[in-house]
Chains A and B, each alone.
Chain A
Amino acid sequence: MGSARVFPAWHTNVTHTCVTPCVRRVLGQSGPFPGEAFRPARPHAPMLHASSSPVAVASAPALQTPLSVRSSAAVGVERCAMQNVKKSFGTTAILKGIDFDVREGEFAVLVGPSGCGKSTTLRAIAGLESIDDGSVRIGGRDVTLLPPQERDIAMVFQSYALYPHLTVRGNLAFGLRMRKTPEREIAARVQEVSQMLGLDPYLERKPKALSGGQRQRVAMGRALTRRAQAYLYDEPLSNLDAALRSSVRLEIRKLHDRIGATSIYVTHDQVEAMTLADRLWVFNAGRVEQSGPPSEVYDHPRSLFVARFVGSPAMNLVTGRVRRIGNESRIEAEGLSVPAPSGLPEGQEVVVGLRPHDLHPCGASERALGTLHFDAFERLGGELLAHGWARASGANMVIRLEGDAMRKAVVGDAMEVAIDPERLHFFDAASGLRLESK
């Protein structure tokens, strides 16, 4: 149970515009998986496990139907886990005690900036990297001391690592050959995978005669022909261009929903992470900063680091102090004034987080946070990201505008902005940890 941290259910409004649930909704409709060979022994376990986070389930009702069908069977069987894994190169600690577990059929995403240890963690799972301390378990077996070939995993590499001297067919069959699978079965599985990934026309080509996207598919296919305990992805999309990346991303998720293979996916791209994950592990400097379903991480970033990292455009952060004005406790921060959560002593330095998507022009019945002076716009067509500042010395703020507000906005204008107080995030400026109302 990696995500043992329980967050209070103080948000119930599900109108946020994060892309993840939408995509899931679409994917959730996809038909049953055609290839019997890929159906895991156990049906897909839901990533929104009822056990610890009823709130999360409530937050994504659209998902309940398709996934709950699958989750009717036993839930939460551990497939891959790490306990207190440490590793250092010389005096540099790379992993400072990673705990981690992925359940049967779950799509886990490890995300974080470069150098945070996520790739090392993945490689340690694969056995490509030795660890100094702790243990790794795959399929209920302690594999800490086993070489990669005995761990029964499949992996997709960032560089694809296609065998240049083998044809696509040879690449797809390689893993099965190594495991002495009968040739007939190899042929069948290669056939199945190539059909699924649309590789049929290229089976006899060598990798160098393929385009980047095709190579990526072969790399995926090579992993998928295998029947492995877990499928590892090491930034598999980073070599593709933006358009291709988002379409392949979608396909990966679709595929996962169809075959429900236990997957561990490493990326530094938080959009990718949010889109794909059943559960997210946000890494920072060799530690897991936060883990949980993407919506939970998005809605309740546990620290400033997570708040900054998850969400695009990034959360606006302003620093201020708690001040008591009459019987109301408020935080005055860089020209903005927001209500302080209860229980904070006066004078405490607090970082206030406001997601651009939560900010909106101040309505008649609302109390304004302050006035933003716009100095730059990013027009995205259907919406506008307006950059501005509330006070000359204050931080740059971003607000997302749509509809009329978007059309009327002009650089140089000022606008009174407001936010649903429930959507405010507070962090202790000293520790960077999330502050909750008491």
Chain B
Amino acid sequence: MKHLEAIAAHALAIAATVFALYPLFWVFGLALSPTGLSSDARMWPLSSSPSLANARALVEGNPHFWTQLGNSLVISFATATVAIVLALPASYALARFSFLGAKAGLRTMLWTQMFPGVASAVPLYAILQTLGLLDSRLGLVLVYATTAIPFAVLQLKGAFETIPVELEEAAWVDGASRLRAFITVVLPAARPAIAVTFLFAFMSAWNEFILAATLLSRESAFTMPVVLQRLVGEHAARWGVFAAGALVVSIPVIALFYVAQKSLVAGLTAGGVKG
């Protein structure tokens, strides 16, 4: 009985792993194949003669490649940082103070997540233009950060609620101001949730291409998703190069996921996903 169950569990896990990995191997094979998408159906696109031609085309065929990769990194890190820095105090206040408008604010924030971006993209463009932030990294960072804030706030609010109030009270009694106690005691205790929230905010910026394609004009200001998307745009279908690029953009996030693996479970459980 126990054996049967173990076998069933492993069978399930293995099946799911195959399901999860196959498309990734497919992209991997595509990236290494010298011809891109092969013209006949293959279960395994890995060519018998793997080549780095696609990777080379990705890097060498694009004079701005390193700048663009750098843009993506800088913008994503800045987005996550700004979102977290703004979300931390707000979510702390929502977790610890009861104040007029807290409930309404929270509800409104949830609602904004339900409004499709299609209708708000245009006015957003206008606002950025007014602020002179079109085609700038700062503008993009601000936009990404604000879209990341609601989820971050929910997540962190949940995390703060699991931290015992006594911890802060002890710090106050020990002579720390509210802000000081927040920084020296609450933040370190919320580290796993902050790490996970940071990861999500980072990912949202790292993966975004719709706004980036609209708000950025200079090729040297592009982020990687825009570059990739243009590889398989209307008149281009450089699938092999795209696949190589897909690997490039996936690897950092996979690495971050791996690093955050432990916190992921803890952070999500403590976090807003729970409430």
Contacts and interface: CB of A to CB of B under 8 A. Distances in A.
Interface of A: 126-128, 147-149, 151, 153-155, 157-159, 161, 163-166, 174-175, 178-179, 222, 226, 232
A178 B176 CA distance: 6
Contact of A178 (B174, B188, B189): B174
Given A155-B170, A157-B166, A157-B170, A179 B175 contact: yes
Contact of A149 (B166, B167, B177, B191): B177
A338 B175 CA distance: 58
Contacts of B174: 149, 154, 174-175, 178, 222, 226
A154 B173 contact: yes
A163 to B, nearest CB: 6
A148 B167 contact: no
Given A161-B167, A178-B180, A155 B173 contact: yes
B169 interface: yes
Given A161-B166, A163-B170, 19 more contacts: A126-B169, A126-B173, A147-B172, A147-B177, A148-B169, A149-B173, A149-B175, A151-B173, A154-B173, A159-B166, A161-B164, A163-B185, A164-B167, A166-B188, A175-B174, A175-B175, A178-B174, A178-B184, A222-B170
A148 B173 contact: yes
The 4 closest A-B pairs by CB, nearest first: A175-B174, A161-B166, A165-B188, A178-B175
B177 A153 contact: no
B104 to A, nearest CB: 21
A232 B185 CA distance: 20
Contacts of A232: 173
Contacts, number: 67
Interface in B38-72: none
B187 to A, nearest CB: 9
Contacts of B260: none
Contacts of A127: 172-173
A174 B166 contact: no
B171 interface: yes
Interface string B140-175: 000000000000000000000000101101111111
Nearest to A128: B169
Nearest to A178: B175
15 contacts: A128-B173, A148-B172, A154-B173, A157-B169, A158-B166, A163-B167, A165-B189, A165-B191, A174-B171, A174-B174, A175-B173, A175-B174, A175-B175, A178-B180, A179-B175
A424 B178 CA distance: 54
B240 to A, nearest CB: 48
Indicate the member of B166, B170, B189, B191 with the most A CB atoms within 10 Å.
Answer: B170
A222 B170 CA distance: 10
Given A165-B188, A165-B191, A178-B180, A153 B166 contact: no
Contacts of B177: 147, 149
Contacts of A166: 188
Contacts of A175: 173-175
A121 B114 CA distance: 46
Interface string B185-201: 10011010000000000
Contacts of B175: 149, 175, 178-179
Interface residues of B, number: 19
Interface of B: 164, 166-167, 169-178, 180, 184-185, 188-189, 191
Chain A interface helix/strand/loop/mixed: loop
A418 B188 CA distance: 64
Indicate the member of A147, A153, A161 with the most B CB atoms within 10 Å.
Answer: A161
Indicate the member of B169, B175, B177, B189 with the most A CB atoms within 10 Å.
Answer: B175
A149 B164 contact: no
A229 B146 CA distance: 47
Contacts of B167: 161, 163-164
Given A164-B189, A165-B191, A178-B180, A128 B164 contact: no
B72 to A, nearest CB: 32
Nearest to A225: B174
A149 B188 contact: no
A159 B172 CA distance: 16
Contacts of A151: 173
Contacts of B189: 163-165
A87 B175 CA distance: 24
Nearest to B188: A165
A146 B229 CA distance: 59
Contacts of B171: 163, 174, 178
B257 to A, nearest CB: 24
B188 A128 contact: no
Indicate the member of B173, B178, B189 with the most A CB atoms within 10 Å.
Answer: B173
Indicate the member of A126, A148, A153, A158 with the most B CB atoms within 10 Å.
Answer: A148
Contacts of A163: 167, 170-171, 185, 188-189
A161 B163 CA distance: 10
Contact of B164 (A147, A159, A178): A159
Nearest to A219: B170
Contacts of A157: 166, 169-170
A163 B187 CA distance: 11
Contacts of A164: 167, 188-189
A126 B174 CA distance: 10
A128 B173 CA distance: 8
B164 to A, nearest CB: 6
A127 B173 CA distance: 8
B267 to A, nearest CB: 16
Nearest to A166: B188
A166 B188 CA distance: 9
Given A149-B177, A157-B166, A159-B166, A128 B191 contact: no
Contact of A153 (B173, B185, B191): B173
A180 to B, nearest CB: 9
Nearest to B191: A165
B193 to A, nearest CB: 14
Nearest to B175: A178
Contact of B172 (A128, A158, A179): A128
Contacts of B170: 155, 157, 161, 163, 222
A166 B176 CA distance: 15
Nearest to B163: A164
Indicate the member of A153, A163, A166, A179 with the most B CB atoms within 10 Å.
Answer: A163
